[in-house]
Amino acid sequence: MKSILIPIFLLSTYSFGIVSELAFDQSTDIIGKPEITDGDTIVIDDIRIRFTGSDAPESYFFGKTQTCIDGAGQEWECGNAATEKLKQLINNQTVRCTDEGKDRYGRTLGICYVGEMDLQAEMVKSGMAVAYLRYSDRYEQEQNFAKKVKAGMWGGEFQEPETWRRENRD
């Protein structure tokens, strides 16, 4: 009898450890109705979350809004359009973000979802953000799709948001 109880005890202890670890992992998620700052940043419960793996044009950066050129050669405020696209995707729903650490500015990095929809993937696929390939290839397929169908910014000319920020810093 003793020989049976030891494996059962060990198995139950191991199982409890797995369950505890899963519960702990879920507790790192940040969940709530967000304030949308721009096309790649939201705030939930006073936590500023910068989307990881994607980069959207700026809607407000040192008082400036990033613009792009559409396929007809007309300038448009792609920074504001990216913010509006994210608002449309979230549509006042609850957002769940996985905490992926901090960036050099102290912002929480996250991958964010509405239900099962990966918000960054949708932003990149719609051409309203670019895949941040320097840091991750997570959204490379979505970017290739956006390029192919000339979605959003890919329908004309634009400056990579990172380059635009560097050139427009005061």
User: In the prediction, which pLDDT does 159 show?
Assistant: 95
Start-to-end CA span in the chain (Å): 76
122 CB-contact burial (10 Å; exposed 0-12 / middle 13-18 / buried 19+)? buried
Please indicate, yes or no, if residue 136 is contained in any of the structural domains: yes
Query: At 18, is the pLDDT very low, low, confident or very high (cuts 50, 70, 90)?
Result: very low
Kindly tell me if the per-residue pLDDT of 15 is higher than 60: no
Output the domain CATH number for residue 137. 2.40.50.90
- Nearest-CA neighbor of 111 among 85, 132, 88, 87? 132
User: In the prediction, which pLDDT does 66 show?
Assistant: 92
Label the pairing between strands 117-118 and 108-114. antiparallel
User: In the prediction, which pLDDT does 12 show?
Assistant: 47
Kindly tell me if the per-residue pLDDT of 110 is higher than 90: yes
Residue ranges making up the domain that contains 100: 29-168
Please indicate, yes or no, if residue 23 is contained in any of the structural domains: no
CB count, 10 Å around CB of 32? 14
Residue type, 51: F
Label the pairing between strands 68-69 and 54-55. unpaired
Please indicate, yes or no, if residue 24 is contained in any of the structural domains: no
Share of the chain above pLDDT 90, in %: 73
Kindly tell me if the per-residue pLDDT of 16 is higher than 60: no
What mean pLDDT is predicted for residues 22-29?
57
Domain count, the chain: 1
pTM: 0.82
